[in-house]
Amino acid sequence: MKKIKRFFKLLLRSSTGTTGMVIVLGICLCAIFANQLAPHNPNEMDLMNMTKPPFWMNGGDLNNVLGTDNLGHDILSRMLYGARISLIVGILATLASGIVGMVLGLVSGYFGGLPDGIIMRVADAFFAIPGILLALVTLMVFKSSGILTLVLVIAAISWVPYARLIRSEVLRLKEKEYVKAAKTVGASSWFIIFNHILPNVWPSFIVISTMSVAGSILTETALSFLGVGIQAPLVSWGGMLSDGRVLLATHWWVATFPGIMITIAILGITFLGNWLRDVLDPHNKGL
């Protein structure tokens, strides 16, 4: 209880941290309560109201606050449902890449030698291909476009920074006296990793994970924009942008609002991540 209180006290002291938290909470609420908040079914086609402008423009009304696209879908409702997909993909991909990167980084850093050599060379190889390129080729090749495939592919292209960061942290921690002491009294490698190394790696892990959620969401929207990510009837922000692109010359709002939504979401997560980085930094006072 005391810790939670302290957490909020620290959060309220930072304006960017608070802004980030508010945005992230807002998007989470949108995603959770999309059913209740959305004024329309996101896949309901209203053929009488195709490409209706937002309410403040001529021809728009409050029934479709942000207008409709060329199939008469309500843009606001689709954006709310899109938040759901983006958050699910972002969080799951981060979890998957985080776990893989963490395990590989721990093994690589702690044991060194051949495992380290192999893991780091594989990491170099993954690092040499731009992630979006590898993801695009993989998704096209496997011809499957469920959420799970998307999550796995995004995880596969984003584990490298985790592995490298965790490895360098482990290399540093390995030289600490308490680790050496534990070794001297005969503690097993895995005991040392779980009890002495892991707890000290957490802060960096949390910070990089927050940033990774933002990165994964951006990758998901980009892949959906290219047409290999989320497929209809599921709604994604990237897909909405892709639909709006062809209507750009005549109906600007279709592509504009999802883009603003993505930007706000990423900004919020980045602010929160930056704040967490400052707070969890052992050189600052911390939590």
Partner 1 sequence: MGNYLLKRMLQIIPVLLILTFIIFCLVYVAGDPVALMLPPEAGETAKAALRKALGLDKPFAEQYLIYLGNLLRGNFGTSYVYNQDALSLVLERIPYSIELAMVSLCCSVVLGIVLGVAAAHFRNTPLDLFVNGLAALGQALPGFWVAIMLILLFAVQIPLLPVSGAGTWKHLVLPSATLTILTSSKIIPLIRSNMIEVMQQDYIRTARSKGLRSSVVVFKHAFKNTLVPVITIIAMQLPTLLGGALITETIFAWPGLGMLIYRGVANLDMTVVQAGVMAVAVITIMANLVSDIAYCLIDPTIKYQ
Instruction: Confirm if 135 and 157 have CB atoms less than 8 A apart.
Output: yes
Q: Which is nearer to partner 1, 137 or 181 (CB)?
A: 137
Q: Which is nearer to partner 1, 25 or 246 (CB)?
A: 246
Binding site for partner 1 (CB under 8 A): 121-122, 124-134, 136-138, 140-142, 214, 218, 221-222, 225-226, 238, 241, 244-245, 248-249, 252, 255-256, 258-259, 262-264, 266-267, 270-271
Is 51 exposed, middle or buried (CB count within 10 Å of its CB: 0-12, 13-18, 19+)?
A: middle
Tell me phi and psi for residue 74, to 5 degrees: -75, 125
Least distance (Å) from partner 1 to the CB of residue 269?
A: 8
Q: Which is nearer to partner 1, 55 or 252 (CB)?
A: 252
How far lies 272's CA from each of 132, 158, 211, in Å? 25, 20, 9
Least distance (Å) from partner 1 to the CB of residue 1?
A: 33
Least distance (Å) from partner 1 to the CB of residue 268?
A: 9
Instruction: Confirm if 223 and 152 have CB atoms less than 8 A apart.
Output: no
Least distance (Å) from partner 1 to the CB of residue 207?
A: 15
N residues, the chain: 287
Q: Which is nearer to partner 1, 141 or 185 (CB)?
A: 141
Q: Which is nearer to partner 1, 61 or 124 (CB)?
A: 124
Least distance (Å) from partner 1 to the CB of residue 256?
A: 7
113 conformational bin, left if phi > 0, alpha if psi -120 to 50, beta if neither: left
CA distance 152 to 150: 5
At which residue do the structure tokens 């980084």 appear? 105
